Amino acid sequence: MEKKRPKVGVGVIIRKNNKVLLGRRNGKHGKETWGFVGGHLEFMESIEDCVIREVLEETSISVKDIKYVSITNDLFKDTNDHYLTIFIVCDYSKGKVTNMEPDKTSEWKWFKWNKLPKPLFLPITNLLSQDYDPFKK
Protein backbone atom coordinates (compact mmCIF):
# COMPACT_ATOMS: atom_id res chain seq x y z
CA MET A 1 0.00 0.00 0.00
CA GLU A 2 1.34 3.40 -0.97
CA LYS A 3 1.85 5.90 1.85
CA LYS A 4 -0.18 9.08 1.69
CA ARG A 5 2.02 12.16 1.46
CA PRO A 6 1.30 15.88 1.69
CA LYS A 7 0.61 17.69 -1.57
CA VAL A 8 2.23 21.02 -2.44
CA GLY A 9 -0.06 23.98 -3.07
CA VAL A 10 0.84 27.53 -4.01
CA GLY A 11 -1.22 30.49 -2.74
CA VAL A 12 -0.76 33.75 -4.62
CA ILE A 13 -1.41 37.03 -2.80
CA ILE A 14 -1.95 39.60 -5.56
CA ARG A 15 -1.77 43.25 -4.45
CA LYS A 16 -3.39 46.19 -6.25
CA ASN A 17 -4.35 49.60 -4.84
CA ASN A 18 -3.87 48.43 -1.23
CA LYS A 19 -6.19 45.47 -1.77
CA VAL A 20 -5.76 41.72 -2.38
CA LEU A 21 -7.64 39.45 -4.78
CA LEU A 22 -9.74 36.61 -3.40
CA GLY A 23 -12.16 34.19 -5.00
CA ARG A 24 -15.08 32.24 -3.57
CA ARG A 25 -14.24 28.55 -4.01
CA ASN A 26 -16.68 26.09 -5.61
CA GLY A 27 -14.87 22.75 -5.40
CA LYS A 28 -15.22 20.16 -2.62
CA HIS A 29 -11.87 21.34 -1.23
CA GLY A 30 -12.72 24.49 0.73
CA LYS A 31 -16.17 24.92 -0.82
CA GLU A 32 -17.75 28.35 -0.17
CA THR A 33 -14.58 29.72 1.44
CA TRP A 34 -12.60 32.68 0.11
CA GLY A 35 -9.12 31.94 -1.17
CA PHE A 36 -6.27 33.42 -3.15
CA VAL A 37 -5.41 32.40 -6.67
CA GLY A 38 -3.48 29.16 -6.46
CA GLY A 39 -3.14 25.52 -7.19
CA HIS A 40 -0.79 22.57 -7.25
CA LEU A 41 2.89 22.93 -7.95
CA GLU A 42 3.52 20.68 -10.96
CA PHE A 43 6.42 18.23 -11.11
CA MET A 44 9.66 19.99 -12.19
CA GLU A 45 7.92 23.41 -12.27
CA SER A 46 9.51 26.46 -10.66
CA ILE A 47 7.40 28.27 -8.07
CA GLU A 48 7.55 31.47 -10.14
CA ASP A 49 6.29 29.61 -13.24
CA CYS A 50 3.49 28.06 -11.15
CA VAL A 51 2.44 31.54 -9.95
CA ILE A 52 2.37 32.98 -13.47
CA ARG A 53 0.50 29.93 -14.84
CA GLU A 54 -2.13 29.75 -12.08
CA VAL A 55 -2.84 33.50 -12.12
CA LEU A 56 -3.29 33.48 -15.90
CA GLU A 57 -5.39 30.26 -15.90
CA GLU A 58 -7.73 31.46 -13.13
CA THR A 59 -8.02 35.22 -13.72
CA SER A 60 -6.41 36.10 -17.12
CA ILE A 61 -4.26 38.81 -15.49
CA SER A 62 -0.48 39.19 -15.29
CA VAL A 63 1.60 39.80 -12.17
CA LYS A 64 5.08 41.13 -11.37
CA ASP A 65 7.55 41.35 -8.46
CA ILE A 66 6.98 37.76 -7.28
CA LYS A 67 8.35 37.12 -3.76
CA TYR A 68 8.23 34.23 -1.29
CA VAL A 69 6.18 34.82 1.88
CA SER A 70 5.81 31.68 4.01
CA ILE A 71 4.70 28.05 4.17
CA THR A 72 1.71 26.69 6.08
CA ASN A 73 0.99 23.09 7.10
CA ASP A 74 -2.68 22.58 6.26
CA LEU A 75 -4.64 19.57 7.56
CA PHE A 76 -8.07 19.25 5.93
CA LYS A 77 -9.66 16.73 8.27
CA ASP A 78 -13.06 16.78 6.52
CA THR A 79 -11.53 15.59 3.20
CA ASN A 80 -8.52 13.75 4.67
CA ASP A 81 -6.13 15.97 2.69
CA HIS A 82 -2.77 17.33 3.81
CA TYR A 83 -1.08 20.22 2.03
CA LEU A 84 2.01 22.30 2.43
CA THR A 85 1.03 25.67 1.00
CA ILE A 86 3.75 27.96 -0.28
CA PHE A 87 2.57 31.55 -0.10
CA ILE A 88 3.83 34.06 -2.63
CA VAL A 89 3.12 37.79 -2.80
CA CYS A 90 3.20 39.77 -6.03
CA ASP A 91 1.77 42.87 -7.63
CA TYR A 92 -0.90 43.19 -10.29
CA SER A 93 0.69 44.02 -13.64
CA LYS A 94 -1.99 44.13 -16.35
CA GLY A 95 -5.25 42.72 -17.62
CA LYS A 96 -8.87 42.61 -16.53
CA VAL A 97 -9.79 40.06 -13.84
CA THR A 98 -11.96 37.46 -15.55
CA ASN A 99 -13.32 34.32 -13.93
CA MET A 100 -11.68 31.77 -16.23
CA GLU A 101 -12.72 28.69 -14.19
CA PRO A 102 -16.32 29.25 -12.99
CA ASP A 103 -16.57 25.57 -12.07
CA LYS A 104 -13.82 26.15 -9.46
CA THR A 105 -14.46 29.77 -8.40
CA SER A 106 -17.81 31.59 -8.39
CA GLU A 107 -16.38 35.13 -8.26
CA TRP A 108 -13.21 37.21 -7.80
CA LYS A 109 -13.14 40.41 -5.70
CA TRP A 110 -10.56 42.83 -4.30
CA PHE A 111 -10.50 43.27 -0.50
CA LYS A 112 -8.60 45.42 1.99
CA TRP A 113 -6.30 43.22 4.10
CA ASN A 114 -8.00 44.25 7.36
CA LYS A 115 -11.47 43.52 5.87
CA LEU A 116 -11.08 40.03 4.44
CA PRO A 117 -14.35 38.14 3.81
CA LYS A 118 -15.44 35.10 5.80
CA PRO A 119 -15.15 32.19 5.82
CA LEU A 120 -11.52 32.01 4.69
CA PHE A 121 -9.81 29.00 3.11
CA LEU A 122 -7.87 27.05 5.79
CA PRO A 123 -4.37 27.90 4.44
CA ILE A 124 -5.18 31.64 4.71
CA THR A 125 -6.38 31.19 8.29
CA ASN A 126 -3.09 29.42 9.04
CA LEU A 127 -1.11 32.20 7.32
CA LEU A 128 -2.93 34.86 9.35
CA SER A 129 -1.92 33.03 12.55
CA GLN A 130 1.68 33.94 11.59
CA ASP A 131 0.76 37.67 11.73
CA TYR A 132 1.60 38.13 8.06
CA ASP A 133 0.65 41.41 6.36
CA PRO A 134 1.39 41.78 2.62
CA PHE A 135 1.58 45.57 2.93
CA LYS A 136 4.23 45.77 5.67
CA LYS A 137 7.82 46.05 4.49
DSSP state of 120: B
Q: Spell out the domains of the chain, with CATH numbers in brackets.
A: 7-128 (3.90.79.10)
What CA–CA distances, in Å, run from 104 to 17, 25, 44, 53, 132?
Answer: 26, 6, 24, 16, 26
**pLDDT tens by residue, the chain, 137 residues:** 778 999 999 999 999 999 999 999 998 788 999 999 999 999 999 999 999 999 999 999 999 999 999 999 999 998 899 999 999 999 999 999 999 999 999 999 999 999 999 999 999 999 999 999 999 97
Single pTM value for the model: 0.96
